[in-house]
């Protein structure tokens, strides 16, 4: 549950990290994150953060998500 008074930047970064960190070797169930009230307005920013991740071989510098 993400309430609207949560720290926006920290929360969005934590959700992206939980969803895409560790090269898929852990499950943090971000698919069931519930954004309550005005926190739902953060979804476009969350989508943009995820879209900006660099997908590449894990051995390549600057890779965020290994393929």
Report the catalytic residues: 27
- List the alpha helices (DSSP H) in 1-67: 8-20, 43-51
Name the one residue in this structure whose structure tokens are 């499950």.
Answer: 27
Pair 46, 39: CB distance under 8 Å: no
Pair 50, 14: CB distance under 8 Å: no
């Amino acid at each position: 549950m993400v309430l609207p008074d949560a720290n926006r930047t920290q929360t969005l970064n934590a959700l992206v990290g939980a969803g895409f960190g560790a090269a898929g070797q852990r499950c943090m169930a971000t698919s069931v994150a519930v954004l309550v009230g005005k926190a739902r307005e953060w979804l476009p920013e969350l989508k943009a953060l995820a879209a900006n991740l660099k997908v590449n071989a894990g051995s390549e510098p600057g890779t965020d998500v290994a393929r």
